Structure 1
């Protein structure tokens, strides 16, 4: 089984899966919206992450009428929000560790974030 980020799909396969022309994928690459992997022979290879990103691009352009410049802005903002979410979650975990140490709570306490909800699981001793 391949990982989510491993480039394994040829451009013709991706075009067929998504029912788009291969030239559309090349245009998305020229615009900097996607960056497929390359073989030693310079053939484009797409990962499942690339395919999911292309689906997002298609949803924005087809369903919402966003042009490619707008798609670029939306994707950059989404990436930035994801980075900030990860950073915020890391800070929350660090804060929870500090609070546990100060309060003498077992290190078995785990805090994980799901979407915008926090789930707290306490390990029973």
Structure 2
């Protein structure tokens, strides 16, 4: 029997966390041009768009990861991935609302 000593390090990302442009690029293992294209497509919105040093929220990190999976797993182009991401987020909002409605009906 072999024992695998490889470990995966990770962090829990909250919406209020902030990442610099470089940190986001590094964490997601993507080049800066790709991050810029996500901003231009409206997929990501820097917290300080007028500043030369963009900062991104934890939500932006999750959006980048979803876009990466959509492109890798489904071969979706950037515009299609943006649309799919928007629909996924709307479904999540509706699920949350439904859960609140159901819990208020029980009590």
Q: TM-score band, normalised by the shorter chain?
A: 0.7 to 0.9
Name the residue aligned to 1:30: 40
Asked which structure has the greater CA Rg, the reply is: 1
Name the residue aligned to 1:120: none
Greater helix percent: which structure? 2
Q: Is 2:69 the counterpart of 1:59?
A: yes
Q: Distance in 1 between matches of 2:42 and 2:56?
A: 14
Greater relative contact order structure (CA < 8 Å, 6+ sep):
2
Contact kept, 8 Å, 1:9 with 1:45, in 2: the verdict is yes
Deviation at 1:46, TM superposition (A): 1.5
Give the superposed CA RMSD.
1.9
* TM-score normalised per structure 2: 0.77
Contact kept, 8 Å, 1:6 with 1:48, in 2: the verdict is yes
* TM-score normalised per structure 1: 0.67
Within-5 A mapping of 1:1-125: 4-38=14-48, 41-97=51-107
Q: What stretches of structure 2 of length at least 5 have no aligned partner?
A: 1-12
Aligned length: 95
Greater strand percent: which structure? 1
Q: What stretches of structure 1 of length at least 5 have no aligned partner?
A: 98-125
